[in-house]
Amino acid sequence: MVQTIALAGNPNAGKTSLFNLLTGTRQYVGNWPGVTVEKKEGWVKGLSSRMLIDLPGVYSLSAQSLEEKVAISYLLQESPHVILNIVDASNLERNLYLSVQLLEMGLPSIVALNMMDVAVSRGLQIDEKKLAQKLGVPVIPMIARKGKGRQQLLEWLEKEEPTCSRLIVPYPEQVERAINELIVLLDSAKLNLKASVRWIATMWLERNETIEQVIRQNVDPSVIERMELVRQRLGDTVDHQIRNARYTWIETLLREVTTQRRTVERTWS
């Protein structure tokens, strides 16, 4: 049976480098259905029956841009065997925003911590074990451009059963209350999706267009009406509150897992 690995990450995180490193020349390029966003697929070299799918580079799953909509629709509807989330280690705070959203989604995931050479040259030390523990999924340090980390990644893909993170970002109290009410409503609607119900509830509060569409197509109008009321009660700033809570969670995480050494500036006078 073919297992699909979905490659997700910010633009410039090294997605193309990693894709080429893993697939070599066995690539097929097309478009995502209905849109002119490029879709690349390829067999993973050195493993049997593993198909790597390159998702568009995105900074979040907010479904604002076409790329974000393609990525979120794919993950929601196709549920890959595992999400391979490539993260730029030299740009952790921004890159982890997408990671947090992906991990909240609750699909099986693994993180490729790329650009380790850049991070090290800037004096950034990352406790990878602790990072993996906090994210709730394996973290594999890589230098994709030089092929470093490939072997470890392949071994993991070959041998391990992918895990879903149990990452829970704590949101402000009134948001948590709304999420819990939405979870009850969504449970009664019996949506047939692999994504976590908590994540769907959070995306509904953020007015994520893709989630909005899925819910309007699959949930009873009377239930949607009650979901609307829960959302309206929170007012216009709920998406900011959710975003801020994610960034606060990331800042706390980074304080625990990173150390910035002072880099010595060389002078040539």
Least Cβ distance, residue 37 to K ion (angstroms): 15
> CA distances (Å), 221 to each of 43, 199, 207, 224, in order?
43, 21, 17, 5
Contact between 117 and ligand GDP by CB under 6 A: the answer reads: yes
12 touches ligand GDP by CB under 6 A: yes
Site residues for ligand GDP, 48-77, by CB under 6 A, read 57
| Cβ 16 to Mg ion shortest distance, Å | 3
Annotated binding residues, as ranges?
9-16, 20, 23-24, 34-38, 54-57, 114-117
Only one of the segments 112-120, 163-171, 206-214, 222-230 lies at the binding site for ligand GDP (rule: CB under 6 A); that segment is: 112-120
Q: Is 261 exposed, middle or buried (0-12, 13-18, 19+ CB in 10 A)?
A: exposed
The tokens for 143 are 């230098």
C-beta closer to K ion: residue 38 or 155? 38
Cβ atoms of 97 and 20 within 8 Å: the answer is no
Shorter beta-carbon distance to K ion: residue 14 or 106: 14
3-state secondary structure of 33: coil
Question: Of 138, 155, 149, 152, nearest to 47 (Cα)?
Answer: 155
Does position 27 bind Mg ion by CB under 5 A? no
Footprint (CB under 5 A) of K ion, residues 9-38: 12
Q: For residues 118 and 114, what is the distance between their CA atoms, to the nearest angstrom?
A: 9
127, 264 contact by CB (below 8 A)? no
Among candidate residues 220, 178, 174, 229, the one with its CA nearest the CA of residue 200: 178
Separation between Cα atoms, residue 70 and residue 1, nearest integer Å: 25
Does the protein bind Mg ion through residue 16 (CB under 5 A)?
A: yes
211 interacts with, out of ligand GDP, K ion, Mg ion, none, CB within 5 to 8 A per kind: none
Most distant CA pair in the chain, distance: 75
Q: Does 65 bind Mg ion (CB under 5 A)?
A: no
72 vs 8: CA distance, rounded Å: 10
Task: Please say which residue, 11 or 170, places its beta carbon nearer to K ion.
Answer: 11
- Three-state DSSP state, 8: strand
Q: Which stretch binds ligand GDP (CB under 6 A): 11-19, 66-74, 188-196, 214-222?
A: 11-19
Residues linked to residue 3 through DSSP beta bridges, in sequence order: 50
**Does the protein bind ligand GDP through residue 145 (CB under 6 A)?**
yes
Contact indicator for 66, 77 with CB cutoff of 8 Å? no
Dist. CA 237–CA 243, nearest whole Å: 10
List binders of K ion among 150-209 (CB under 5 A). none
Question: For Mg ion, which is the closer residue by CB, 16 or 258?
Answer: 16
- When binding is defined by CB under 6 A, the residue of 35, 37, 47, 118 that contacts ligand GDP is 118
Residue 117 near which of Mg ion, K ion, ligand GDP, none (CB within 5-8 Å, type-dependent): ligand GDP
Which stretches of the chain bind Mg ion, using CB under 5 A? 15-16
Contacts with ligand GDP, residue ranges (CB under 6 A)? 9, 11-17, 57, 114-115, 117-118, 143-145
Task: List residues near K ion by CB under 5 A.
Answer: 12
